[in-house]
Amino acid sequence: MRILVTGKNGQLGRSIYKIVNTDTKIDNNQSSNEFIFVGREELDLSSESSISHYFDSNDGFDVIINCAAYTQVDKAEQEVELASQINHLAVKQLASIASKQQARLIHISTDYVFDGESDKPYTETDETNPINVYGKTKLAGEKTLQEIMPTNAMIIRTSWVYSEYGNNFVKTMLRLGRERDELNVVSDQIGSPTYATDLAGVILEIIKNKEFREEEQATQIYHYSNKGEISWCDFAKEIFTISKIDCKVNPITTQQYLTPAKRPKNVLMEKYKISNIFGINTEDYRKALKNCLKLN
Ligand SMILES: NC(=O)c1ccc[n+]([C@@H]2O[C@H](COP(=O)([O-])OP(=O)(O)OC[C@H]3O[C@@H](n4cnc5c(N)ncnc54)[C@H](OP(=O)(O)O)[C@@H]3O)[C@@H](O)[C@H]2O)c1
């Protein structure tokens, strides 16, 4: 299969690249696949003409994995049009192109499509109600994708993604924890962290799965994160404990740490569906964190 991966410089894109190119343990049977990784230099999702141009000159893809997104949650409150173009309109265009090329489309979405007010984990069919611009644009992307591709696409909602790459909570905590004696971290937002390498492995696993290759599969939404639930504050403590960083973590409330974009309070996602259909094992978040910090 010819597999196009967008967002090659992002956390997920780089994690997929690393597995495909180096990790022979996870990467069994991927060698029969040809992966093409593109960044915004080749395929700029903020430009309709760039997208058309790229696919006019490059076609014959069997699978498109869309890892690219406008992910700056706070900045999105100001850059509404740009966030909407990348997270919604570009997805619409990608879906039309995938449909025309008869390619399968794997699109990544977010727990931020929910408002975080539920007291139990969200299932894939639970009502969405994003409370910030980023979440709204990602939800619009999901909806347009489902409309244009009622079959042959897949949306994977994930949460709290971190990795060795780019900017993320784990890397920020490691840096600040080494610089300071104490830190204030929000303790009333609960979620499940996701090590990008684990999500990348899941996507590659799905591509190998017969279910995925079957003709005319109805487009589905799946939830995936690591197993377990934690607050940002306790996650920071875990990072410091595992890394043996001596930094005190003080719990604070969301009200004490106001950000331009509102954050959902309690977004836990049920992951039974992806586990049942694709036989995916969700790794415990502590184990995943140790793997990322290379302390397993
Ligand atoms: N990070 C999280 O905590 C989180 C949580 C839930 C869901 N997600 C979703 O998971 C997916 C992967 O996220 P991630 O953490 O890997 O994000 P990331 O590290 O921010 O990577 C996003 C990638 O998108 C690319 N991109 C941005 N604007 C673009 C444009 N105009 N044209 C082409 N590419 C563009 C960026 O390119 P540059 O490198 O050139 O800027 C970057 O490589 C996204 O769909 C995201 O919405 C992420």
What number of other Cβ atoms are within 10 A of residue 86's Cβ? 24
CB of 11 sitting under 6 A from ligand 1: yes
Q: What is the pLDDT of residue 210?
A: 77
Q: Residue 38 pairs with which residues in a beta bridge?
A: 6
For residue 129, pLDDT beyond 60: yes
Cβ(268) to ligand 1 under 6 A? no
Determine whether the shortest distance from the Cβ of 161 to ligand 1 is under 6 A: yes
Contact 157, 192 (CB under 8 A): no
- C-beta of 192 in contact with ligand 1 (< 6 A): no
Amino acid at the residue 33: N
Give the tens place of pLDDT for each residue, 61-70.
999 999 999 9
Between CA 284 and CA 145 the distance in angstroms is 31
- pLDDT tens digit string along 158-198? 999 999 999 999 999 999 999 999 999 999 999 999 999 99
End-to-end CA distance of the chain: 33
* Most ligand 1 atoms within 8 A of CB, residue of 88, 109, 122, 161 to mutate: 161
Query: Which residue has the CA at smallest separation from atom 15 of ligand 1?
Result: 11
Q: pLDDT band for position 22 (50/70/90)? A: confident
Point out the residues that are catalytic: 134
Q: Please compute the mean of the pLDDT values over residues 16-44 and round it to a whole number.
A: 82
- Cβ atoms within 10 Å of 248's Cβ, excluding its own: 12
Nearest atom in ligand 1 to the alpha carbon of residue 72 is 20
Q: Which of 46, 51, 71, 108 to mutate to test the pocket of ligand 1 (most atoms within 8 A of CB)?
A: 71
pLDDT in tens, 68-94: 999 999 999 999 999 999 999 999 999
Reported as a single tens digit per residue, the pLDDT across 41-58 is: 999 999 999 999 999 999
